[in-house]
Amino acid sequence: MIRGVGGPLVHTIQDYNTILREGLDGVMAQMREDLASIDGSAPVGIADLERRNHYRAMLIVADGMIAYAERCADLADSAAASEPDPARAAELREMARICRRVPRLPATTWWEALQSLHFLRATTTLLEGGGSHSVGRFDQYMLPFLRRDLASGAITLPKAQELLECLFVKWNEVPVYAAGRGTTSEGMRQNDKLTIGGVTADGNDATNELSLMCLEAHAHVHLNDPNISLRVHRDTPDDLLRRALEVIRLGGGLPQIISDEAIIPSL
Task: Please give the chain's pLDDT, 267 residues, in tens.
Answer: 344 444 555 677 889 999 999 999 999 999 999 898 887 666 667 888 888 999 999 999 999 999 999 999 999 999 999 999 999 999 999 999 999 999 999 999 999 999 999 999 888 877 766 666 789 999 999 999 999 999 999 999 999 999 999 999 999 886 665 566 556 555 566 678 999 999 999 999 999 999 999 999 999 999 989 999 999 999 999 999 999 999 999 998 999 999 999 999 998
Counting other chains too, the contacts that 175-179 makes at CB distance below 8 Å and 24 or more residues apart are: 175/125, 175/126, 175/129, 177/129
- Cα separation, 106 vs 25, whole angstroms: 8
Rounded CA gap, 62 and 115, in Å? 16
Residue in 193, 191, 200, 266 with CA at minimum distance from that of residue 233: 200
Enumerate the H helices of the chain as residue ranges.
16-39, 46-81, 86-101, 110-128, 138-141, 143-152, 157-170, 179-182, 209-221, 238-249, 260-263
DSSP SS3 for 137: coil
Backbone angles phi, psi at 159, to 5 degrees: -70, -40
| Partners of 196 in beta bridges | 230
DSSP 265: G
3-class DSSP assignment, residue 190: coil
Q: Does the reported pTM lie above 0.75?
A: yes
